[in-house]
Amino acid sequence: MALTKFNYNSFDLTTAASKGLAFNSNANGFETSSAGSMTLIKTLTASSSSTLSFLNGSDSVVFDSTYPVYLFKYINVHPATNAATFTFQVDTGTNTNYNTTVTSTSFLSQHDEGDSATSLAYNAAKDQAQGTSFHVLSNEIGNGNDECGNGEIYFFNPSSTTFVKHWIARALSYQSDDYIQDRFFAGYFNTTTALTRVQFKMSSGNIDAGTIKLYGIKDS
Amino acid sequence: MALNKLKFNSLNVTPTAGKTVGFNSDADGLEATLSGGSMTFISKQTASSSSSLQFTSGIDSTYKEYLFIFTSLHFSDDACNFKFNFRDGGSNFDATKTSTTFKAHHDEADSTTALAYLNRDVANGTGDQTVAQNIGNANDESLVGYMHLFNPSSTTFVKHFMGQTQYYETNNYTETVYFAGYNNVTAAIDGVKFDASAGTIDSGTITLYGIN
């Protein structure tokens, strides 16, 4: 017996390009639905990893003009080495030097568990002025079993060949001296070449554990 | 001959309002548990030597939170400011607001840094809210950022907003401005206008999203 296959026009609704099929708000009919504007592109999981890299066009990673805004979230990043700092850099084309020129701002709010110190201040030690080093995110993370770093970075229009590449980040750490550190960074990679890759690593030792997620944010 | 279209109750799944039909976790049946995600595109304004970019529809009670994202805004005039204002009924963008702003900056020559309160705040005024200043207009210089607007259709509460801009300042600084405030009105906010203190928004986009 031949199977009956239903086609796109078999359903009782008006079809719309790139939409899904959903029940309406009364659950008594069909309507089209959108997929949402924020799409998970890739998750990398550290396992004693020296680096974690997201390369456009490799291993399902998209980091090009598909999306105007990209968001990285790193969760429970745990260093092998005590007081290691979680860092990132970018590169262009097929280059793997990860030394793109960057100018950035850096300030932090912090407080220790002993309630003996608090501060809110600019932190010139963690910014860069046309530097090419890996940029600090979560600073001096403790490597105790329950200690880790979390945070996020937004990249705007990284594939532009006209503008510098702005980014905004916020980074938390269980600092090795038992502080909560809440760090705020923003800046630009001072290049008009399209960025194609982002790499994360610790300032020393491996990324023992943790995940990094890359999302794309649509504008249509 | 009349076409027989499949109705909502033709599928072997219990209909659930607003949910998408998908395959279950074993891929051996249908389920109605998928949703489109919590961040929904509403509209986008693309600048082209624009005196302003205005959102005059799509801001209502559909969502409790709205998000504007600024991408690669480039301005015609060097050292101009980027600003916005809200519409609380009528046609004017002049909602009364109180706000707070601060900035961090750092120059490429590494000679200056700052973290400081920024006197671009508004105290129960109806004027525009400036959220970036002295923006460069060279070919590779631009501004990015975002603004959240909370529950704009409320007729009970003031309307909070918060956001951040990041831009290439005209003197070769990277500068970022954090801002927050509230529209001190209980009328619904139904529009937002973005513009520059001088000249036009040469290019770039502002995209509006609803957040569930």
In angstroms, what separates the C-alpha of B185 from chain A's closest C-alpha? 30
Q: Which of B144, B167, B169 has the most A C-beta neighbours within 10 Å, making it the best mutation to test the interface with A?
A: B144
- Where residue B3 falls among pLDDT bands split at 50, 70, 90? low
Model confidence at A2: pLDDT above 70? no
pLDDT digits (tens, 9 = 90+) for A20-71: 888 998 999 999 887 789 999 999 999 999 999 999 999 999 999 999 999 9
pLDDT digits (tens, 9 = 90+) for A80-121: 999 999 999 999 999 999 999 999 999 999 999 999 999 999
Contacts of B139 in chain A (CB under 8 A): 162
Residue of B nearest to A129 (CA): B108
**Is B141 in the A-facing interface, judged by CB distances under 8 Å?**
yes
Are the beta carbons of A166 and B69 separated by less than 8 Å?
no
Are the beta carbons of B41 and A162 separated by less than 8 Å?
no
Contacts of A130 in chain B (CB under 8 A): 108, 110
What pLDDT, on a 0 to 100 scale, did the predictor assign at position B79?
98
pLDDT digits (tens, 9 = 90+) for A184-209: 999 999 999 999 999 999 999 999 99
**Is B127 in the A-facing interface, judged by CB distances under 8 Å?**
no
Model confidence at B63: pLDDT above 80? yes
Are the beta carbons of B144 and A184 separated by less than 8 Å?
no
What pLDDT, on a 0 to 100 scale, did the predictor assign at position B177?
98
- Where residue B133 falls among pLDDT bands split at 50, 70, 90? very high
Spatial neighbors of A67 by CB under 8 A, at least 6 apart, are A39, A216, A217, A218, A219
Contacts of B82 in chain A (CB under 8 A): none
Average pLDDT along chain B: 95
In angstroms, what separates the C-alpha of A131 from chain B's closest C-alpha? 9
Looking at beta carbons, which pairs linking B6-12 to residues 24 or more positions away fall under 8 Å? B6/A6, B6/A10, B6/A11, B6/A12, B7/A12, B7/A29, B7/A30, B8/A12, B8/A23, B8/A24, B8/A27, B8/A28, B8/A29, B8/A30
Distance between CA atoms of B145 and B176, rounded to whole angstroms? Answer: 9
Give, in degrees to the nearest 5, the angle at Cα A207 between A201 and A213: 75
**Is A125 in the B-facing interface, judged by CB distances under 8 Å?**
no
pTM > 0.80: yes or no: yes
Residue of A nearest to B41 (CA): A37
The partner residue sitting opposite B140, judged by closest CB among A130, A192, A219, is A192
Model confidence at A145: pLDDT above 80? yes
**Is B176 in the A-facing interface, judged by CB distances under 8 Å?**
yes
In angstroms, what separates the C-alpha of A107 from chain B's closest C-alpha? 7
Residue of A nearest to B68 (CA): A219
Model confidence at B1: pLDDT above 60? no
Q: Tell me which residue of A181, A151, A195 sits closest to A61, measured CA to CA.
A: A195
Model confidence at B41: pLDDT above 80? yes
**Is A117 in the B-facing interface, judged by CB distances under 8 Å?**
no
- The stretch B73-95 carries a mean pLDDT of 97
Model confidence at B139: pLDDT above 70? yes
Least confident interval from A77-86, A211-220, B12-21: B12-21
**Is A15 in the B-facing interface, judged by CB distances under 8 Å?**
no
The partner residue sitting opposite A36, judged by closest CB among B40, B167, B207, is B40
Encoding tokens for residue B26?
């074993």
Model confidence at B33: pLDDT above 80? no
Contacts of A11 in chain B (CB under 8 A): 5-6
What pLDDT, on a 0 to 100 scale, did the predictor assign at position B2?
55
Contacts of A164 in chain B (CB under 8 A): 140-142, 168
- The stretch A162-179 carries a mean pLDDT of 98
Model confidence at B99: pLDDT above 80? yes
What pLDDT, on a 0 to 100 scale, did the predictor assign at position A137?
98
Are the beta carbons of B41 and A218 separated by less than 8 Å?
yes
**Is B38 in the A-facing interface, judged by CB distances under 8 Å?**
yes
Are the beta carbons of B16 and A68 separated by less than 8 Å?
no
Contacts of B205 in chain A (CB under 8 A): 68, 219
